[in-house]
Amino acid sequence: MRTAQISRKTQETDIAVEVNLDGTGAYDVSTGIGFLDHMIEQFSRHSLIDLVCRIDGDLHVDQHHTVEDSAIAIGQAILQALGEKAGIGRYGSAYSPMDETLVRVALDISGRPYLVWRAGFTQPRLGEMDTELFEHWFHSIAQAAGITLHIDVLYGLNNHHICEGIFKGFARSMRQAVSLDPRKGDAIPSTKGQLGG
């Protein structure tokens, strides 16, 4: 089983995350930020990665630490569950349409973290969540999991649709990338014999 558990406790957050890369998209998410819960649940459901994410954060200060640490812990858990990355698809991409919005996501579980973010919002909050923090969430998960991640909002008007399209596109891309290809066996998907560096 490709599973992992991460626990992190700082003066800013107390977080517990569990992932199963070979799951069915079952989730148990509680971050204290309703809209973030909704997006992480979308990620789990559409990636088929089972995910537990529970955070007690310093929301009396602001949302930054909770958002950042959720992404770091989920990324660390995914990286740990991938192990040596033998036999994985490695690459994933998806077009994610949602009504008037179309999002393109492409990624490489390369071990070389990088985020290209071509997205924006026209309102400062979705629910109670600060929209400026979505880019930071994806930057943090890319860094923690060692993912090269490109996110492009090709067009869209509704901010909710844009954000949900991004998370669903990321989920479907991750589903491809972490899936095992039986033709690869235990081979590392790189001519270097390792991923990263």
Length, in residues, of the chain: 197
pLDDT tens per residue, range 95-153? 999 999 999 999 999 999 999 999 999 999 999 999 999 999 999 999 999 999 999 99
Whichever domain contains 27, its CATH number is: 3.30.230.40
Q: Give the pLDDT score at 172.
A: 98
Domain span at residue 90? 3-178
Does any domain span residue 187? no
The token duo for 114 is 């990088």
pTM: 0.94
- Report the domain count for the chain: 1
Does any domain span residue 192? no
pLDDT at 44 over 70: yes
Q: Give the pLDDT score at 185.
A: 77
Q: Where are the beta strands (DSSP E) in the chain?
A: 3-9, 13-20, 27-30, 50-57, 91-98, 101-108, 114-118, 125-126, 129-130, 148-155
Dist. CA 36–CA 126, nearest whole Å:
9
Does any domain span residue 183? no
Does any domain span residue 188? no
Does any domain span residue 77? yes
